[in-house]
Chains A and B, each alone.
Chain A
């Protein structure tokens, strides 16, 4: 069965510092991996995806994620955090066979302090 784990409920980082939000996955077959961000009382906004190709994926708002097959991880990163990055971040993996039925992690709340 497909699953996603986000081991940290919350990540705190100072503005200007690099940030990492962790995600590990378990799928059979090739994984299709996604990161979404959710601001308060809003829907999910797509950040980036990995389907195939380069392990380092660049996405919106300066975020990037690195696909590591041996560690079954897809950590989200940003070199310099902004206060406005504070939000709830979800990692997701597609169910086998197609990319749009998503299995979500429980989310990580990112708090960036000025």
Chain B
């Protein structure tokens, strides 16, 4: 049973370009969470999704950021018109059920905006 798979592992974008980060949850997991880790900081919650639904996006910036988890395929975190401040590690986690279970994390995507 493969773990949470994120790709790409490293992504370099120029300012103004779009970044697409993908997350395939563990088999049997239908809950996906995205977190952002800025240098020398802890992880900050961004968004919680179930298949075809955004459950909680209270941590998402109001502009340029969006997330989806379609019925088929991976979850996508999309950042439009990237700026240098978007440079961070983005981690995806998945869980089987809501409540009383631990979330399993992927290895992250390191986004560098140049």
Which A residues form the contact surface with B (CB < 8 A)?
32, 34, 36, 42-46, 49, 51, 90, 95, 98-107
Interface size bucket, B side? 20 to 34
Q: Is the CB of B99 within 8 A of A100?
A: yes
**In the bound complex, what is the Cα–Cα distance between A101 and B50 (angstroms)?**
13
Q: Is the CB of A101 within 8 A of B105?
A: no
17 contacts between A and B (CB under 8 A): A32-B100, A34-B102, A42-B107, A43-B106, A44-B43, A98-B98, A99-B101, A100-B31, A100-B48, A100-B95, A101-B33, A101-B56, A102-B33, A102-B43, A105-B42, A106-B42, A107-B41
Do most interface residues of chain A lie in helix, strand or loop, or is the interface mixed?
Answer: loop
Q: Is the CB of A43 within 8 A of B102?
A: no
Task: List residues of chain A with CB within 8 A of the CB of B56.
Answer: 101
Known: A95-B45, A104-B42. 9 other contacts (CB 8 A): A32-B100, A36-B105, A43-B4, A44-B93, A46-B105, A51-B100, A99-B100, A100-B93, A100-B98
Task: List residues of chain A with CB within 8 A of the CB of B35.
Answer: 102, 104
**In the bound complex, what is the Cα–Cα distance between A57 and B31 (angstroms)?**
26
| A-B residue pairs, 10 tightest by C-beta | A104-B42, A43-B107, A44-B105, A43-B105, A104-B43, A106-B42, A98-B99, A100-B95, A100-B103, A98-B98
A43: which of B44, B48, B108 is its contact (CB, 8 Å)? Answer: B108
